Amino acid sequence: MIYVDSPVWPAHGRLWAHLVSDTSLTELHIFAELLGSPRRAFDRDHYDIPSERVPVAVWLGAQPTTSRHIARLLRAAGLRRPKHLATPRPALPTALG
């Protein structure tokens, strides 16, 4: 199942919500594609979606819930990827010479 919390997270002059799956990341990526969310909006275990897409996500079948419930769902499904456990991004190459 896909879940979305309330858009209360401010960034870039907008409010954002989290979109998650309690089943698989594959399900989440497919739903996000249907919603029109770019892959760059994926962050370890969820998609950040702008407030104006939340009603569309619900219309497509996402269940509204709280951010606390989302965290519990991800942990229970084994999909939670906290920042401190995330694989660091590779360093950018430096100029040679």
If you write DSSP's letter for every residue of 34-56 in order, what string do you get? HHT--GGGEETTEEEEEGGGHHH
- Our CA angle for 37, 35, 42, nearest 5°, is 35
Adjacent-strand bridge partners of 20: 3
Which long-range contacts link 58-61 to residues 24+ away (Cβ below 8 Å)?
58/4, 60/2, 60/31, 60/34, 60/35, 61/2, 61/31
Q: What is the pLDDT of residues 46-92, one digit of tens each?
A: 999 999 999 999 999 999 999 999 989 988 888 776 654 555 555 55
Instruction: Provide the pLDDT for residue 83.
Output: 58
What is d(CA 78, CA 84) in angstroms, rounded to the nearest whole number?
16
Question: pLDDT (tens digit, 9 = 90+) per residue, 10-45?
Answer: 999 999 999 999 999 999 999 999 999 999 999 888
